[in-house]
Amino acid sequence: MLLQRALILSILLGFVFSTALGPVMIPILRRIKAGQSIREDGPRTHLIKQGTPTMGGLIIIPSSIAAVLILSGATRELQVTLVAYIGFAAVGFIDDYLKVVLKRPLGLRAYQKMGLQILVASLFLYLASHWQVLPGSLYIPYLRLFIQPGLWWIPFLLFVIIGTVNSVNLTDGLDGLASGVTIIVAGFFSLVAWHMGYQDLGWFAGAISGACLGFLIYNIHPAKIFMGDTGSLALGGAIAALAVTTNMTLLLPVVGGIFFVETLSVMIQVAGYKMTKKRIFRMSPLHHHFELSGWSETRVVTVFWGITVILCLAGILGIQ
């Protein structure tokens, strides 16, 4: 019962810290002119968002870390997960800082950004293996089977981590979309970690869920702040690390189905245009396609949240 209360407390602490930090951080970001640039080829309704403060990950990240450290000892599972969380946050912060503070529109070049992401993911996997946190077999959900992955295990996990990080980043395009979906997915992983005996990871996932909920107060439409790459890359790293350490990697496309489909829409759009010179979607990622099809921004976000709830319920059926 005490441990269950601690899980609830991790969510509440993340929420309280994030809610309290918002009014402090938003004026600071406005002062340094850390405003978001809006794509001119995007939905016209988004042009009003030009200049809205970004780098909102600076609210989510310290709030969630403070919440979990109050409740948990520094176990190896938590330490290695924090390496991924903070490491990807650093990559996102550098990119955001170059773009919105130093006013270099391109930010990090694609190869620089990918190289840093691979470096962080590799460090996470090395530490997880060295500290014997990395699972030795791959769990197949729903079938309740374990297989020995062999030589492709590390490359596969590297692909999953990088893919998840960038999927969350692509989803961060509407007010409250990425933060709302992450609340639900992180809540799912808090239950998974709790079920598997990783209380510290359960608290960590709960703290992220709570911190995102607090951030959502300022990020819901009309958003007063965006999370930026600082937040989206960090959250993607945290979700990927939680999936890897709990051996629920193959459930990521299920519970994170929105992240997966958003990325898939971009891939289909690029491939389709190269082959046929025609666009498959009105615009990618997918949330912009629905906007340009006449859906309101709030409708897209609400529907995507609802789908994520259903997918996470389906994911629960796949837990060992």
pLDDT of residue 256: 97
CA–CA distance, 171 with 173 (Å, rounded to integer): 6
Phi-psi region of 236 (alpha: psi -120 to 50; beta: other; left: phi over 0): alpha
* The pLDDT of residue 1: 58
Q: What is the pLDDT along the chain (320 residues), one digit of tens a residue?
A: 555 788 899 999 999 999 999 999 999 999 988 766 665 555 666 656 777 999 999 999 999 999 999 988 778 999 999 999 999 999 999 999 999 888 887 889 999 999 999 999 999 999 999 999 999 999 999 998 999 988 999 999 999 999 999 999 999 989 999 999 999 999 999 999 988 989 999 999 999 999 999 999 999 999 999 999 999 999 999 999 999 999 999 999 999 999 999 999 999 999 998 888 889 999 999 999 999 999 999 999 999 999 999 999 999 999 86
Please report which helix (H) or strand (E) contains residue 165, including its range: helix 153-171
Q: Are 246 and 186 in contact (CB under 8 A)?
A: no
Domain boundaries, the chain: 2-128+149-252
Q: What is the dihedral of CA 172, 174, 180, 184, to 10 degrees?
A: -60
Other Cβ atoms less than 10 A from the Cβ of 232: the count is 30
pLDDT at 320: 66
Q: Please say whether the beta carbons of 173 and 286 come within 8 A.
A: no
Q: According to DSSP H, which parts of 196-256 are helical?
A: 199-219, 228-245, 252-255
Q: What are phi and psi of 140, to 5 degrees?
A: -100, 105
> What CA–CA distance (Å, rounded) separates 205 from 68?
9
| Torsions phi, psi for 109 (to 5 deg) | -70, 155
The pLDDT, as a whole number, for residue 277 is 85
Pairing of strands 145-147, 138-140: antiparallel
pLDDT for 110 equals: 92
138: left (phi over 0), alpha (psi -120 to 50) or beta: beta
The one-letter amino acid at 82:
L
With a CB cutoff of 8 Å and minimum separation 6, the contacts of 297 are: 45, 174, 175, 221, 291
So what's the pLDDT on residue 7?
A: 87
